[in-house]
Amino acid sequence: MQGMDLKMENRKKDFGRSKLMPFGEVMDTILGSVRMLGSEDVDIVDAAGRVLASDIVSDIDMPPFDKSAMDGFACRSADLDRPLRIVETVAAGAMPEKEIGEGECARIMTGAAVPSGADTVVMVEDTEETDGIVRVTRRNGRSNICLLGEDVRTGDRVLEKGSLIRPSEIAVLAATGGSNVPVAVRPVLGIAVTGDELAEPGEHVGPGMIRNSNGPQLMAQAVETGLPAEYLGIVRDEPGEVPALIESASGRIDVFIFSGGVSMGDYDFVPSGLEEAGFELLVHGAAIKPGRPLLFGRRRDSWVFGLPGNPVSVFVLFEMIVKPFCFKLMGHDYRPFEITARLDMDFTRKDAVRMAHVPVRLTLGGRARLLDYHGSAHIHAYTRADGILRIPSGVDTLKTGEEVRVIVPGPPRLANGK
């Protein structure tokens, strides 16, 4: 047998059930192969969705002074039963000029500094005012003062390296002086689809052909994840095409993502093409459904995922595997967002060797409703889904009402369950 054929035969054997890599091992292998891409400073307006490359320490107390939480009157709490004379008005952004003495108060606005001598602010709704004299009509026992430094102290570490920067983190960065934000460099994805049957959306679809939906889907998943991506086009099912594409794009791309051509068909040239291009294949064949032929490799300066061509495989594997990998390259431990729900009907399957995923709709009250789903080509089913039900390997039956795990795909969120 020729060298290439022998390799192919061995691969086919590896595709036997026993050689499928369990999901946990797949993740360990993939995550274990990362190397950080470095960091850069960006303006705060561009920092949303990025990962912090260093700890952030506050250069200020928050609040920076005793601050009124209400519009009202600042006075001494011992004086609430007596008429109070207004000695000045303090607006937000101004500093009080007078100290509050016995029987005195200052008219004060929300966000303004509380004058010394005062230990409470009575909200304006709880007072009556005539001729510069204020009477308190109702008490609620609250001081309505946010104390200096009660949220954050100067020198406190307010955000940790590796944090995902969401709008709330942006607010903290802004408030604590971080107008230039140190963030991890993002991997650039290169997305290529393989298959002689593919026509781009908008092109003529000849006999035996289908439209390329994986290209646009993967580009959309990259956008949703906040990662830059370049679409590298359709690769024909011929030897030499994959290495040629890699060659033409290398230097620009950190993570190549191929769809299709990774199985054992006569025209599946992706694995051999990647090896020819110098990739070491670390995963080929995973105990996950959809996604059995999953392929992952690495060479000096880049990584590659080979995803099976069926659109649901692409959707699910990007969510479960590609995303955590890309975040790990940026120093963030991302895990798909997972919840528990109760199944609303019985589920059975014949072959429980692989961990499996099916689309579900989450309903109020924490129920997961199974959807009509015909298999990994049926991406349409996912347009009605908001969750991916995970069925562990070895489990072939789930009963109505049973607690199940559901992954909620979508934009990056904090990893839960930690």
Distances (CA, A) of 317 to 234, 274, 320, 415: 20, 19, 5, 17
259 binds, among Mg ion, ligand AMP, none (CB under 5 to 8 A by kind): ligand AMP
Q: Least distance in Å: CB of 376 to ligand AMP? A: 8
- With 0-12 / 13-18 / 19 or more C-beta atoms within 10 angstroms meaning exposed / middle / buried, residue 415 is middle
Q: Of residues 187, 261, 324, 412, which one binds Mg ion by CB under 5 A?
A: 261
Pick between residue 134 and residue 356 the one whose CB is nearest to ligand AMP.
356
Pick between residue 45 and residue 220 the one whose CB is nearest to ligand AMP.
220
Contacts of 391 (CB under 8 A, 6+ apart): 347, 349, 352, 355, 356, 357, 358, 398, 404
Pick between residue 176 and residue 376 the one whose CB is nearest to ligand AMP.
376
Q: Of residues 72, 115, 260, 324, which one binds Mg ion by CB under 5 A?
A: 260
Pick between residue 72 and residue 311 the one whose CB is nearest to ligand AMP.
311
Pick between residue 88 and residue 197 the one whose CB is nearest to Mg ion.
197
Residues 93 and 102: their CA atoms lie apart, in Å, by 25
Pick between residue 169 and residue 268 the one whose CB is nearest to ligand AMP.
268
263 binds, among ligand AMP, Mg ion, none (CB under 5 to 8 A by kind): ligand AMP
Give how many residues touch Mg ion by CB under 5 A.
Answer: 4
193 binds, among Mg ion, ligand AMP, none (CB under 5 to 8 A by kind): ligand AMP
Pick between residue 123 and residue 242 the one whose CB is nearest to Mg ion.
242
List interacting residues with ligand AMP (CB under 6 A): 193, 195, 197-198, 210, 212-215, 259-263, 265, 308-311
Residue whose C-beta lies closest to Mg ion = 260
- Residue 405, beta-bridge partner list: 340, 390
CB 218 within 8 Å of CB 314: yes
Q: Which stretch binds Mg ion (CB under 5 A): 18-26, 257-265, 352-360, 361-369?
A: 257-265
94 binds, among Mg ion, ligand AMP, none (CB under 5 to 8 A by kind): none
H or E segment and range at residue 348: strand 347-348
Distances (CA, A) of 303 to 14, 189, 250, 252, 364: 22, 10, 11, 12, 41
Q: Least distance in Å: CB of 263 to Mg ion? A: 8
> Per rule CB under 5 A, is residue 195 in the interface with Mg ion?
yes
Q: Sign of dihedral through CA atoms 219, 335, 14, 274?
A: positive
213 binds, among Mg ion, ligand AMP, none (CB under 5 to 8 A by kind): ligand AMP
Q: Beta strands of 252-301 (E only): which ranges?
A: 255-259, 280-284, 288-289, 295-299
Q: Beta strands of 138-194 (E only): which ranges?
A: 145-146, 157-159, 180-184, 189-194
Contacts of 116 (CB under 8 A, 6+ apart): 96, 99, 100
Phi, psi of 318 (to 5 degrees): -60, -45
3-state secondary structure of 79: helix
Pick between residue 163 and residue 214 the one whose CB is nearest to ligand AMP.
214
Q: Least distance in Å: CB of 2 to ligand AMP? A: 23
Pick between residue 283 and residue 398 the one whose CB is nearest to ligand AMP.
283
Q: Least distance in Å: CB of 361 to ligand AMP? A: 24
- Residue 192, beta-bridge partner list: 233, 258
302 binds, among Mg ion, ligand AMP, none (CB under 5 to 8 A by kind): none
Q: Least distance in Å: CB of 388 to Mg ion? A: 24
**If you write DSSP's letter for every residue of 6-54 in order, what string do you get?**
HHHHHHHHHTSGGGSBPHHHHHHHHHTT-----EEEEEGGG-TT-BBSS
117 binds, among Mg ion, ligand AMP, none (CB under 5 to 8 A by kind): none
Q: Which residues bind Mg ion (CB under 5 A)?
A: 195, 260-261, 309
